[in-house]
């Protein structure tokens, strides 16, 4: 079990980040940077903190099980950004930072006197990462924009679900997470640029654009051929066989054998090698045109074999296949264990706390989880004392007046 420490190590340990966002899009960017060692100082409202402290369907001892993950490796300080004194504290902290992350509605930071032009006057190398629903420019920029709206506007909502049902959503906050990942990429590019030039810059990550970036050839397909991608349930149009199939044991397994050579291996296992040379199924285009009938042929075979036996045969033959995992499956899987995909952190109240590990894995400079999400204001004395030189009496006065 990794030791719990607040000392930053890792390839980004020389970077100090002030995180001013809340909920998920901005904080997930902060989490990713913190995973690789950046010192992430999270500013939260006094008394309530980030709403993520209460989010999540299931709680333990009245505490969110989402917060320890998204706030891992971070330091929490309280700061009332709506108060002039709180804004002054934020400016002083940002003056000592390399990166500031925010995901408020565009214009909010400027109203607080914390726009990029003002901040870079005192810190020319500052990288400001701004995550929002629609971006910082354009006619929609001032609108409130949550992840679900960005998913709808970016195209993923329309194409998700069964064709005879209303558009569905995935069971995770996909839009927010994608915007955060792209914000992180942009941040690291900006850090590289600053290393070369000494100059900071703005990173503008819009949720709808992050989703749009995942939409493959949707745009040219419509513009050039007039084809509009529709909802197709569990399959991708014209990609076959690649679907979920029944087994004799009642389990469902996924088989992806859409490449010509892989399809040939699958037909050998089925005892139907002639299918690989049959003109109806011999190439990618032909199989895609006959997806439904091909799925019926495969399902008729898979339904006669127990799942474990079937998976063993498919793996041995080099045909990609697998179960559809739940959390229980992940905890029991030896591959997850061998790669330490799940790690356990000691939480002061929850005890042994599992969560997903840092990705990707780096051979020389891996990331690490040093501690779970902190208590509200846990690092006030450390951060304000070390960076701003405030003493206990000054902090007490700021707390009394609701600034921290």
Give the catalytic positions in this structure.
176
Half-sphere exposure of 165 (CA within 13 A, CB side): 11
Residue in the block written with tokens 């209303």: 166
Using CA atoms, how far residue 334 sits from 269, 329, 353, in Å, is: 26, 10, 19
Pairing outcome for strands 342-347 and 351-356: antiparallel
Rounded to whole angstroms, the Cα distance separating 135 from 143 reads 10
Locate 52 and state its tokens.
Answer: 């993520």
CA 378 vs. chain centroid, Å, equals 25
Give CA angle at 279 (272, 268), nearest 5°. Answer: 20
In angstroms and rounded to an integer, the radius of gyration of the C-alpha atoms of the chain is 25
Interatomic CA distance for residues 13 and 328, integer angstroms: 34
């Amino acid at each position: 079990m990794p030791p719990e420490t607040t000392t930053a190590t890792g390839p980004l340990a020389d970077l100090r980040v002030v995180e001013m966002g809340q909920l998920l899009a901005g904080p997930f960017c902060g989490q990713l940077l913190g995973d690789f060692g950046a010192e992430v100082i999270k500013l939260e409202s006094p008394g309530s903190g980030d709403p993520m402290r209460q989010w999540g369907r299931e709680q333990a001892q009245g505490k969110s099980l989402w917060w320890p993950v998204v706030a891992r490796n971070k330091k929490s300080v309280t700061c009332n950004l709506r108060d002039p004194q709180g804004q002054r504290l934020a400016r002083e902290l940002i003056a000592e930072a390399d990166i500031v992350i925010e995901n408020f509605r565009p214009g909010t930071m400027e109203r607080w006197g914390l726009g990029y032009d003002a901040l870079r006057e005192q810190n020319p190398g500052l990288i400001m990462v701004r995550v929002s629903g629609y971006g910082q420019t354009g006619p929609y920029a001032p609108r409130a924009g949550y992840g679900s709206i960005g998913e709808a506007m970016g195209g993923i909502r329309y194409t998700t679900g069964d064709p005879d049902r209303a558009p569905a959503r995935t069971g995770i906050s996909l839009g927010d997470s994608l915007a955060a990942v792209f914000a992180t990429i942009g941040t690291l590019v900006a850090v590289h640029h600053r290393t070369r030039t000494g100059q900071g810059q703005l990173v503008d990550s819009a949720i709808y654009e992050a989703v749009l970036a995942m939409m493959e050839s949707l745009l040219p397909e419509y513009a050039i051929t007039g084809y509009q991608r529709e909802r197709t349930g569990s399959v991708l149009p014209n990609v076959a066989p690649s679907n979920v199939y029944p087994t004799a044991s009642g389990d469902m397994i996924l088989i992806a054998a859409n490449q010509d050579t892989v399809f040939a291996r699958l037909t050998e296992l089925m005892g139907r090698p002639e299918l690989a040379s049959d003109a109806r199924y011999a190439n990618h285009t032909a199989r895609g045109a006959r997806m439904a009938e091909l799925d019926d042929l495969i399902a008729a075979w898979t339904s006669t074999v127990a799942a474990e036996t079937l998976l063993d045969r498919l793996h041995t033959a080099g045909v990609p296949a697998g179960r559809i995992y739940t959390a229980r499956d992940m905890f029991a899987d030896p591959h997850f264990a061998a790669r330490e995909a799940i790690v356990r952190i000691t939480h002061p109240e929850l005890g042994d706390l599992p969560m997903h590990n840092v990705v990707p894995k780096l051979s020389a400079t891996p990331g690490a989880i040093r501690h779970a999400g902190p208590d509200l204001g846990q690092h006030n004395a450390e951060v304000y004392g070390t960076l701003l030189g405030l003493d206990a009496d000054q902090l007490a006065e700021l707390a009394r007046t609701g600034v921290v």
